[in-house]
Amino acid sequence: MKKSVLLISLILTFVNQGFSQLTNEVNKGYKYNNNFDLALATEGKQSLAALSWVHFNAVTKNKKFKVGYGVRFSSQVGKNLNYETAPAILTSKQRGPQVLFTEIFYENVDTLFVAKSQNNFLNLSINLQYTFKEKFDIGFNIDAAGFSFGKKTTGRYISSQSSQNGSTQTAAPTSLNLLLVSDNDIGALNSEFYFRYWFKPKWAIRAGASFAFTEYKTENKLRLDNDRWRNKSLMGMIAITFSPFR
């Protein structure tokens, strides 16, 4: 009886120690893969700053390929920008992922010329990353959903097919942001393709490209009953990363 009790006690002690060790490893692994980031992007007419947090999870045995989720706050400023007709049902005459491969019907595309643009947007992000030679990462991320805010602005409506051509329109950032593929997208979304180098255990630099959508909604519906206007911008990007638990 005493031997059985002793054996059970030893087994429970071993299981408890093993579970504690596993929990510590999981917690350590979770903390290890948390990155905080400040990115700056520009293309001349407009610039964007982004603060983000990302947590990665390794999905391969060698832990080189990772999938992550995060939160990103982006703030964009621009001058003399063209915001074009946004809805896919107008630009492609259809909805769905196939609009990525369809032609643009330019007869449905008008322009809102905005002299001063400023958008702030907070979104959840999807992140993919591959690590090679320990200190180098290559990755891609994209905003998935969130919201935008900013001051109202005015823009000049440009349409050769409307009697309102040349009129001044008041607009504000579209509130809802949602990733739906190409012109199906709604609101402001940021994405990045990058290379990262860890120059210290907890510090890294990133460089690459940022592709950002920003969107305004006019107070008035104009030709084709449209009130949504989108600007797409490809910008050079540089960033600093801090991973405090590495």
Q: What pLDDT, on the 0 to 100 scale, is given for residue 5?
A: 46
In a domain, 110, yes or no: yes
In a domain, 24, yes or no: no
In a domain, 59, yes or no: yes
In a domain, 78, yes or no: yes
Q: What pLDDT, on the 0 to 100 scale, is given for residue 97?
A: 87
Q: What pLDDT, on the 0 to 100 scale, is given for residue 191?
A: 98
Q: What pLDDT, on the 0 to 100 scale, is given for residue 100?
A: 85
In a domain, 13, yes or no: no
In a domain, 28, yes or no: no
Q: What pLDDT, on the 0 to 100 scale, is given for residue 28?
A: 53
Its domain, for residue 124, covers 33-242
Q: What pLDDT, on the 0 to 100 scale, is given for residue 133?
A: 87
Q: How far apart are CA 131 and CA 66, in angstroms?
A: 8
Domain total for the chain?
Answer: 1
pTM over 0.75: yes
With a cut of 50, which residues of the chain have pLDDT below it?
3-5, 7-8, 10-12, 14-26
In a domain, 199, yes or no: yes
Q: What pLDDT, on the 0 to 100 scale, is given for residue 225?
A: 97
In a domain, 6, yes or no: no
Instruction: Return the CATH number at 205.
Output: 2.40.160.20
